[in-house]
Structure 1
Amino acid sequence: MNSVLIRNARLVNEGREVEGDLLVSHGRIVKIARSIEGERATLEIDANGQWLVPGMIDDQVHFREPGAPAKGSLYTESRAAVAGGITSFMDMPNTQPATLTLEALADKKHRAATTSVANYGFHFGVSHDNLDTVAALNPCEVAGVKVFMGASTGNLLVDDPATLERLFAEVPTILLAHCEHTPSIDANAANLHAQFGERLPPAAHALIRNAESCYRSSSLAVELARRHGTRLHVLHLTTARELALFEDKPLAHKRITAEVCLHHLLFDDRDYADLGNLIKCNPAIKTQADRDALRAALNSNRLDVIGSDHAPHTWEEKQRPYAQAPAGLPLVQHALPALLELVEEGVLPITTLVAKTSHRVADLFAIPDRGYLREGYWADLVLIAAQAFEVNQQPILSQCGWTPFAGRSFRHRVSLTMVSGQIAWHEGRINEQCRGLALRFMR
């Protein structure tokens, strides 16, 4: 597809919403105007008043390749992502094998170049054994460096004080932290098991992985970053208390930033009664008060970006008793439609949603020529129709075959997704010929 002309759209970009046309040629946005005349295009699309936004750049996904094909792959999960308005993703290192070596990183990039429908980048992992490799990384070759300061096992759990000190002092690029305090979690679990026995309900998850366990770890990460001057990004905040750790000022003036994920904005602990293990995730979904505080913070600069933390597991695994069921849920296929419910409810304006899912993500990770509707930028675009749909009426594209949104209706649907100027999703169908490009990081 050499050129596409989108007419009569409501362009949402850089704090403004305006009517206009947009022309794409050879992968790039070449013209934006109130009305584009005299231009010939291979395809013309009449948006008829639909929102036209830059595609969501998801800074946190777990696409499960290599290692867990029954849960997901770069092929299956990228297809689900473009259906949900995500044009670029950054995949986490806890695959099998983990992304702890340059060889593992290169293997993932090769796999994505072959099969991913969306643009792609990869985070590098940290263990006690690969700090020399981390310190020598080329910052332009990775999306970021991810450290599990808790809530992980084996080689990816890094909770030794000396190792953390060296990591925060020497990491050459942005450091992403999963912050939960494992000793607190273990103590909470032991106390609940002593009181109620082994058959704990899923609602116990929010009590075991409680606000205190999150704050103890995130406050340590912030303290280490301030002491060493680290460029720190704390992932998936879940509590009102943690918000005070982050400054309410523009991204360009901060070295410590924070992300919130869509499930922590859309669910709270009342939902365990109906959804049980389907919303079991780490860190846990917590109280309505925590959810509401996170929502309110989106309208300030304390929360910089919105991610998904898409982490699929099989339906069979999720049916196990609470203690044996894995943590994580599939979210990318309904990312933008679900988040647009917050716009409908008056929680935040559409311009703020676009800033937190596109503009600020590109800025935070230093991704050039993406994340905005600007002439000369890559055409990563999403058309959003104000048309309600029931989730159950759509096929689930994630390999796991289920969604926590089953039975829900959303008031907006993604009618078109363009990835680097290619149509990836249009009127409910995937373009199997679309291939995303490797994200560049200009640091």
Structure 2
Amino acid sequence: MATLIKNARIVNENSITEGDVLLEGEFISKIASSITAEEHMTVIDAEGKYLMPGMIDDQVHFREPGLTHKGNIATESRAAVAGGITTFVEQPNTNPQTTTIEKLEEKFSIAAETSHANYSFMFGGTNDNLEELKRLDPKACAGVKLFLGSSTGNMLVDNEVVLEKIFSNTEMVISTHCEDEKTIRENLEKYKEQYGDDIPIKYHPVIRSEEACYLSSSRAIALAEKTGARLHIFHVSTEKETGLFRNDIPLEEKKITAEVCVHHLWFSDEDYDTKKTFIKWNPAVKKASDREGLWKALLDDRIDIIATDHAPHTLEEKQSVYTKAPSGGPLVQHAVTALLEAYQNGRISLERIVQKMSHNPAILFQVKKRGFIREGYYADLILADLNSPWTVTKENILYKCGWSPFEGTSFRSGISHTFVNGELVYENGKLSGIRNAKRLEFNR
């Protein structure tokens, strides 16, 4: 199997060059200004399109096992490759939770049978599984996930002694959801006294406040500095938190890193009137000034990664009253096109999009031979057409839940081709059905 991509604008390692890329088997075998097509090669003319490494999403919730009425690894990974995401890292708050090595390997077995995108998983830390965590092979999975706010499920780690032991007993990346539980509970009770369960959605960012986020993030950072742990803070949502992170050293040297999600870069509290609980996330979408602060920190390298926190729920669930409507929404099909729209609007360069969604996740998690367009690397690639307008409708949504917070949004760009390990798995709106995904390996 050989595929020759001709006349591409190659976006890679902070530059855009025109050239050809040859894929042989699972790998990129040659990159040159011109490669002569041979009889055994399938040729794709990429004239006018941008060739990028497939995006690596380090934070998704694909709901399998146990919550598959919302989504599963098969359905959500299909949506991911259609959206240009060729690799995902799934989170541990499934049912049962991924808090033992046995349950971790069960999820790998499911993905091996059903995933359309390359995959790894986070191992969930709890108040009582430290010994299991110590047994975990650093090469077994992407890293350790801790919920320092009981956002999802019952995985809150609130025992300070245990927390310090976890930070002290793993060399893997510890990824955290940071919101202060005490602050949130106090805020929630205040509004429940006034409104009962039907709290107006506009108060969501007041309940899950800037203070709740900053308290938790700053404590996690202080603990990482004390113990020397490798800390990665998921979905930073406030301008204030961005002051906690450094941009004066290369990513490879950072012990504390940060991530922002697409929805916090796109929406603000001004959107609650129209989007209502469909943009209810934890941490909450906050003020427009927070959104501006996040963009600034992303572009000056205090924030290292862009992810999705893809977390589908059914329409029925999301349309419940405030206290019963779950937080989270589906994003993997539309995240890259949303960022391409930001490029069209002059917000961010294509090189920076690739850096934050492909290169940096590969560096941060030490992913082997992915995240770059290099000879000898796996051929996880996407072609983006920046002159391909389309509108998100129920008819073209691939998520199992059948809805999107971007429904009705028109984008100027689209993903025309997606390759996973050298196989063309998506082309011009159609999925091939080929599953060529692999378990991630790590340089550890």
Output the CA distance in 1 between the equivalents of 2:347 and 2:397: 28
Unaligned runs of 5+ in 1: none
Change (3 A) 1:295 1:104: same
Unaligned runs of 5+ in 2: none
Output the CA distance in 2 between the equivalents of 1:266 and 1:274: 14
Q: Which residue of 2 aligns with 1:358?
A: 358
Output the CA distance in 2 between the equivalents of 1:322 and 1:192: 11
Amino acid across the alignment from 1:159:
D
Secondary structure of the residue that 2:103 maps to in structure 1?
helix
In the alignment, is the contact (CA less than 8 A) between 2:390 and 2:411 conserved in 1?
yes
Output the CA distance in 2 between the equivalents of 1:428 and 1:152: 35
Q: Which residue of 1 aligns with 2:68?
A: 69
Counterparts of residues 131-142 of structure 1 (less than 5 Å):
131-142=130-141
Residues 47-101 of structure 1 deviation map (CA, whole Å, 9 limit, x = unaligned): 1110000010000000000011110111000000001100000000000000011
Q: Which residue of 2 aligns with 1:258?
A: 258
Secondary structure of the residue that 1:30 maps to in structure 2?
strand
Secondary structure of the residue that 1:260 maps to in structure 2?
strand
Secondary structure of the residue that 2:217 maps to in structure 1?
helix
In the alignment, is the contact (CA less than 8 A) between 1:137 and 1:172 conserved in 2?
no
Q: Which residue of 1 aligns with 2:78?
A: 79
Output the CA distance in 2 between the equivalents of 1:134 and 1:180: 23
1:414 aligns with 2:383: no
In the alignment, is the contact (CA less than 8 A) between 1:56 and 1:88 conserved in 2?
yes
1:431 aligns with 2:424: no
Q: Which residue of 2 aligns with 1:214?
A: 213
Q: C-alpha displacement at 1:393, in angstroms?
A: 7.0
> Which has the higher mean CA deviation after the structures are superposed, 41-50 or 87-96?
41-50
1:338 aligns with 2:302: no
Residues 180-225 of structure 1 deviation map (CA, whole Å, 9 limit, x = unaligned): 0010001111222334444211111111001000000000000000
Secondary structure of the residue that 1:214 maps to in structure 2?
helix
Q: Which residue of 1 aligns with 2:199?
A: 200
1:167 aligns with 2:188: no
Q: C-alpha displacement at 1:155, in angstroms?
A: 4.7
Q: Which residue of 2 aligns with 1:349?
A: 349
In the alignment, is the contact (CA less than 8 A) between 1:147 and 1:176 conserved in 2?
yes
1:98 aligns with 2:97: yes
Q: C-alpha displacement at 1:160, in angstroms?
A: 1.3
The alignment's C-alpha RMSD in Å is: 1.2
Counterparts of residues 389-404 of structure 1 (less than 5 Å):
389-392=390-393, 394-404=395-405
Amino acid across the alignment from 1:411:
R
Q: C-alpha displacement at 1:434, in angstroms?
A: 2.2
Amino acid across the alignment from 2:392:
V
Amino acid across the alignment from 2:393:
N
In the alignment, is the contact (CA less than 8 A) between 2:10 and 2:18 conserved in 1?
yes
Amino acid across the alignment from 2:73:
L
Residues 270-323 of structure 1 deviation map (CA, whole Å, 9 limit, x = unaligned): 111001010101110000000011111121121111110000000010111111
Output the CA distance in 1 between the equivalents of 2:286 and 2:101: 37
In the alignment, is the contact (CA less than 8 A) between 2:389 and 2:410 conserved in 1?
yes
1:119 aligns with 2:118: yes
Change (3 A) 1:3 1:99: same
Change (3 A) 1:199 1:266: same
Secondary structure of the residue that 1:323 maps to in structure 2?
coil
Q: C-alpha displacement at 1:172, in angstroms?
A: 3.1
In the alignment, is the contact (CA less than 8 A) between 1:250 and 1:301 conserved in 2?
no
Output the CA distance in 2 between the equivalents of 1:81 and 1:223: 35
Q: Which residue of 2 aligns with 1:368?
A: 368
Q: C-alpha displacement at 1:253, in angstroms?
A: 1.7
Output the CA distance in 2 between the equivalents of 1:152 and 1:38: 53
Q: C-alpha displacement at 1:39, in angstroms?
A: 3.8
Output the CA distance in 2 between the equivalents of 1:280 and 1:424: 32
Q: Which residue of 2 aligns with 1:293?
A: 293
User: Normalised by the size of structure 2, how large is the TM-score?
Assistant: 0.98
Q: C-alpha displacement at 1:40, in angstroms?
A: 4.1
Amino acid across the alignment from 2:45:
D
1:320 aligns with 2:320: yes
Q: Which residue of 1 aligns with 2:232?
A: 233
Amino acid across the alignment from 1:65:
E
User: Normalised by the size of structure 1, how large is the TM-score?
Assistant: 0.98
Q: Which residue of 2 aligns with 1:243?
A: 242
Secondary structure of the residue that 1:176 maps to in structure 2?
strand
Output the CA distance in 2 between the equivalents of 1:393 and 1:152: 28
Output the CA distance in 1 between the equivalents of 2:103 and 2:37: 49
Secondary structure of the residue that 1:298 maps to in structure 2?
helix
Amino acid across the alignment from 1:362:
A
In the alignment, is the contact (CA less than 8 A) between 2:394 and 2:402 conserved in 1?
no
Secondary structure of the residue that 2:333 maps to in structure 1?
helix
Secondary structure of the residue that 1:358 maps to in structure 2?
helix
Q: C-alpha displacement at 1:153, in angstroms?
A: 6.2
In the alignment, is the contact (CA less than 8 A) between 1:11 and 1:20 conserved in 2?
yes
In the alignment, is the contact (CA less than 8 A) between 1:298 and 1:348 conserved in 2?
no
1:51 aligns with 2:37: no
Residues 371-401 of structure 1 deviation map (CA, whole Å, 9 limit, x = unaligned): 0011110000000012111111752111101
Of all paired residues, the percent bearing the same amino acid is 48
Output the CA distance in 2 between the equivalents of 1:199 and 1:117: 39
In the alignment, is the contact (CA less than 8 A) between 1:122 and 1:143 conserved in 2?
yes
Residues 113-165 of structure 1 deviation map (CA, whole Å, 9 limit, x = unaligned): 10100000010001112111112211100101000011346651101111111
Counterparts of residues 135-150 of structure 1 (less than 5 Å):
135-150=134-149
